[in-house]
């Protein structure tokens, strides 16, 4: 006999649900510039503190502060602002296009633009991202043609993936963007393997892996950390903690750990937590981690703390599971507004110039969209031929597929 | 020609592939320093260095997943899953990733990985060291599935698999590693040196994927099989005195339908044989295709002989395993039909 009361199952719950007042008081936010920047070769054990804080550069007044500031020139930051604005405007156009039936599905980045746009600027040509579906800023910032992105979203005849993939599951070897799986987390370990290959060959290329807070629960995440740790792989392991995995709050994946960054500690991997809505901080931390990888010092785990201000996808309605006003209460602000404020504060940007840039970018995006739509959209009939569905299953089409293709009439 | 066991032939294929192409890398559990629990990678780390042949953490998902990344980079990873029974954690990586990289990226990213797995029973391995999961791979578009039945083929097929631009699942019947086991478990073990296919060309050669072999010519009945069952089928043919033609598929996908159909159209009777469980096994695919292609040549319905639809048992192994007696009885049944 035991004298303890009966057991009961404890299921974590978010701070608030629809109808509640949003509450982010549980997130401890240090002032910008107060978190130290260790040397890139500092031992993981000596920087455990960095997994329990948030590295921030831009303060509330828009000024850059502390050791992590200064990784970019003001011109580069202005370019970063344009990248983020481009991504947001592109998203808006594609969300509308989906509602107009021009495509089946879309996923936007609202509130998370800084992460992928800034990270890409820390990479070099030849490096490879293994992205999830919410890092299209990697493509935008690497100069990938927007018209081609749209052709993929519209699954038209110019879609380089021949209509085989869901919208937004882009792929570009040349632009360092690995084909998106759509199965969560699978690519995380592949990035580690890819970076190991670079090390085996004695090359200088590094890999960057991407995962969301929810899918860190997958075995692939843990396998990736073991392999990265064991072989000192030249890889940057990004966790984008946007608080929500569809309707499931991040606590369901995080469990009893205080942060996702601290997952790296058991593997001896240097692990940092960064303000994901701070373009300057994301870039500085990315640059630091990329330098570690490039100098063969091994992997770095980065938790990007952000908020998914939009729905998970066009098939999702977040008002069913979280307060409508939650995104306004998000304490790290909007990534575009913050960089705009920084640049205005530095005297290199104005409200007027911002409006002008917005108009220019919108025009450019509309131009691209017109060209892409002229080629075709999912509902216009100008989609790839059924013949294409039999190609690329194997390098050489085996007889049984040739027979099946003939049966379809090709 | 050199005498080799299937283990030596597989080791030799690795050795030649690594010497020929510096992009070939080999890893898996116990594969590096020790050379593998079955010794198929013995000496490779010593010869080619620990960055080309190394031990991996016990994570089949990690081994295959990292291998996929390496293959996408441009390497030729040849990874070992210690037993086919352990591959399930890697199944998502094989099915959703390796098999589809070329397709979903429009040909931009490819995955020339070879995943080797010892397969099948007959070694008192119980349910976790005896399974034959080939049908789980043949059902997946984008994979090639290979199962050799002798040292000469094992070497040539493995070299062809390594040279292939697509992912190849390479299943090694572990009961054949050391000899041509014919299912007579109560008789003395026969070594490969007593078998003509234990004579192996020491140089580089490929046995093309997608080509079956007629390993015993016959007129009365066709046995379509692969792996360990090739030897069981030959024994059953000899013991029943039925003039059976035995076809060793060697590659399941792509399937050499020409050789299979030509044989069945000639004999008019067909027994499909595998060690894996019966229901939804690869034999079901064979039987369906054979009846569709050879219906008007058939004297009797296509008969399947396979492992029972149970988990692979330990103490009852020889009641489970489709040995020459069970195969022989079914051959006689087929001749009477």
Using the predicted structure, report yes or no on whether residue B337 has a pLDDT greater than 90. no
Element (H, E) at B146: strand B144-146
Residue A32, min C-alpha distance to chain B (Å): 37
Give the torsion sign (CA, B255, B259, B264, B265): positive
| Active site residues per annotation of B | 129
Q: How many CA atoms lie within 13 A of A406 on its CB side?
A: 7
Alpha-helix residue ranges (DSSP H) falling in chain B: 6-20, 44-48, 60-73, 91-92, 101-104, 134-138, 151-163, 229-240, 257-267, 282-294, 317-320, 324-336
Dihedral angle at the C-alpha atoms of A353, A359, A361, A364, nearest 10 degrees?
-140
Tens digit of each residue's pLDDT (9 = 90 or more) over B91-130: 999 999 999 999 999 999 999 999 999 999 999 999 999 9
Cross-chain residue pair B70–A200, CB shorter than 8 Å: yes
Tens digit of each residue's pLDDT (9 = 90 or more) over A115-147: 999 999 999 999 999 999 999 999 999 999 999
Contact A69, A59 (CB under 8 A): no
Find the residue in A nearest to B52 (Cα).
A200
Report the candidate in A108, A209, A89, A246 with the shortest Cα–Cα distance to residue A168.
Answer: A108
Which residue out of B56, B67, B73 would a mutagenesis test of the A interface target, given it has the greatest number of A Cβ atoms within 10 Å? B73
The phi-psi region of residue B134 (left if phi > 0; otherwise alpha if psi is between -120 and 50; otherwise beta) is alpha
Find the residue in B nearest to A203 (Cα).
B73
Selecting from A160, A169, A226 the residue whose C-beta is nearest the C-beta of B59 gives: A226
Dihedral angle at the C-alpha atoms of A385, A387, A393, A395, nearest 10 degrees?
-110
Cross-chain residue pair B106–A171, CB shorter than 8 Å: yes
Two tokens at B169? 């699942």
Using the predicted structure, report yes or no on whether residue A316 has a pLDDT greater than 80. yes
Task: Give the whole-number percent of chain A exceeding pLDDT 90.
Answer: 98
ipTM score of the complex?
Answer: 0.97
Mean pLDDT of B75-101: 98
Tens digit of each residue's pLDDT (9 = 90 or more) over A74-91: 999 999 999 999 999 999
Using the predicted structure, report yes or no on whether residue B213 has a pLDDT greater than 90. yes
Selecting from B72, B93, B110 the residue whose C-beta is nearest the C-beta of A194 gives: B72
Give the model's pLDDT for residue B124.
95
Convert B164-178 into a string of H (helix), E (strand) and C (coil): CCCCEEEEEEHHHCC
Using the predicted structure, report yes or no on whether residue A287 has a pLDDT greater than 90. yes
Mean pLDDT of A160-165: 96
Claim: this prediction has a pTM higher than 0.95: yes
A223 neighbourhood in chain B, CB within 8 Å: 57, 59, 61-62, 65
Give the model's pLDDT for residue A69.
98
Find the residue in B nearest to A400 (Cα).
B254
Find the residue in B nearest to A209 (Cα).
B69
Cross-chain residue pair A393–B68, CB shorter than 8 Å: no
Cross-chain residue pair B74–A195, CB shorter than 8 Å: no
Using the predicted structure, report yes or no on whether residue B327 has a pLDDT greater than 80. yes
CA distances B267 to A136, A400, B263, B283, B329, Å, are 60, 24, 6, 18, 18
CA distances B84 to A1, B81, B127, Å, are 45, 6, 11
Give the model's pLDDT for residue A2.
77
Selecting from A189, A198, A220 the residue whose C-beta is nearest the C-beta of B73 gives: A198
Q: What confidence tier does A1 reach under pLDDT thresholds 50, 70, 90?
A: low
Q: What confidence tier does A381 reach under pLDDT thresholds 50, 70, 90?
A: confident
């Amino acid at each position: 006999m035991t004298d303890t009361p009966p057991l009961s199952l404890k299921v974590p719950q978010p701070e608030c649900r629809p109808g509640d007042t949003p509450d982010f008081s549980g997130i401890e936010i240090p002032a910008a510039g107060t978190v130290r920047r260790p040397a890139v070769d500092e031992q993981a054990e000596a920087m455990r503190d960095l997994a329990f804080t948030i590295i921030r550069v831009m303060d509330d007044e828009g000024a850059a502060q502390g050791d992590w500031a200064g990784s970019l020139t003001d011109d580069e930051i202005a370019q970063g602002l344009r990248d983020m604005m481009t991504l947001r405007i592109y998203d808006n156009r594609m969300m509308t296009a989906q509602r107009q039936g021009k495509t089946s599905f879309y996923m936007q980045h609202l509130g998370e633009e800084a992460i992928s746009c800034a990270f890409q600027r820390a990479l070099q040509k030849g490096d490879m991202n293994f992205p999830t579906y919410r890092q299209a800023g990697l493509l935008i910032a690497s100069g990938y043609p927007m018209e081609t992105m749209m052709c993929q979203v519209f699954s038209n005849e110019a879609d380089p993936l021949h209509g085989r993939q869901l919208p937004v599951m882009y792929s570009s070897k040349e632009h360092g963007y690995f084909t998106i799986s759509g199965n969560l987390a699978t690519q995380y370990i592949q990035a580690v393997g890819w970076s190991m290959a670079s090390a085996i060959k004695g090359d200088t290329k590094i890999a960057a892996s991407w995962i969301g807070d929810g899918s860190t629960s997958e075995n692939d995440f843990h396998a990736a950390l073991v392999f990265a740790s064991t072989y000192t792989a030249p890889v940057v392991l990004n966790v984008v903690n946007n608080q929500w995995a569809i309707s499931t709050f991040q606590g369901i994946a995080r469990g009893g750990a205080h942060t996702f960054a601290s997952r790296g500690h058991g593997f001896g991997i240097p692990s940092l937590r960064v303000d994901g809505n701070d373009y300057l901080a994301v870039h500085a931390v990315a640059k630091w981690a990329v330098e570690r990888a490039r100098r063969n010092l091994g992997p770095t785990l980065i938790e990007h703390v952000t908020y998914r201000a939009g729905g998970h996808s066009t098939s999702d309605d977040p008002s069913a599971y979280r307060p409508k006003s939650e995104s306004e209460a998000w304490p790290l602000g909007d990534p575009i507004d913050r960089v705009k404020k920084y640049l205005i504060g530095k005297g290199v940007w104005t409200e007027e110039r911002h409006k002008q840039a917005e108009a220019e970018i919108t025009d450019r995006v509309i131009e691209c969209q017109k060209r892409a739509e002229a080629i075709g959209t999912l509902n216009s009939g100008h989609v790839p031929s059924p013949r294409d569905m039999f190609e690329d299953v194997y390098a050489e089409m085996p007889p049984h597929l040739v027979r099946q293709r003939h049966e379809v009439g090709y | 020609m050199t005498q080799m066991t299937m283990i030596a032939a597989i080791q030799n294929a690795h050795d030649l592939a690594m010497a020929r192409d510096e992009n070939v890398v080999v890893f898996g559990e116990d594969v590096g320093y020790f050379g593998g629990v079955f010794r198929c990678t013995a000496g490779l780390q010593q010869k080619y260095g620990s960055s080309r042949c190394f031990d991996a953490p016990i994570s089949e998902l990690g081994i295959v997943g990292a291998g996929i990344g390496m293959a996408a980079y441009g390497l030729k990873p040849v990874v070992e899953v210690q037993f086919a029974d352990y591959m399930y954690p890697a199944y998502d990586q094989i099915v959703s990733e390796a098999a589809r990289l070329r397709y979903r990226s429009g040909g931009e990213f490819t995955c020339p990985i070879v995943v080797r797995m010892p397969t099948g029973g007959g070694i008192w391995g119980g349910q976790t060291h005896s399974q034959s999961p080939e049908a789980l791979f043949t059902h997946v578009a984008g994979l090639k599935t290979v199962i050799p039945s002798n040292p000469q083929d094992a070497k040539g097929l493995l070299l062809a698999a390594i040279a292939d631009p697509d992912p190849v699942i390479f299943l090694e019947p572990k009961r054949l590693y050391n000899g041509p086991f014919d299912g007579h478990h109560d008789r003395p073990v026969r070594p490969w040196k007593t078998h003509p296919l234990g004579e192996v060309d020491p140089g580089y050669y490929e046995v093309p994927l997608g080509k079956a072999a007629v390993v015993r010519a016959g007129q009365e009945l066709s046995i379509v099989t692969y792996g360990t069952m090739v030897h069981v089928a030959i024994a059953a043919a000899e013991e029943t005195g039925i003039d059976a033609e035995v076809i060793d598929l060697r590659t399941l996908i792509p399937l050499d339908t020409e050789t299979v159909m030509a044989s069945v159209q000639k004999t008019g009777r067909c027994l499909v044989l595998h060690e894996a469980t019966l229901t939804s096994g690869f034999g079901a695919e064979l039987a369906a295709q054979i009846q569709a292609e050879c219906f008007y040549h058939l004297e009797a319905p296509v008969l399947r002989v396979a492992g029972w639809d149970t988990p692979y048992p330990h103490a009852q192994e020889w009641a489970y395993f489709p040995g020459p007696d069970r195969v022989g009885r079914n051959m006689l049944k087929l001749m009477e039909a």
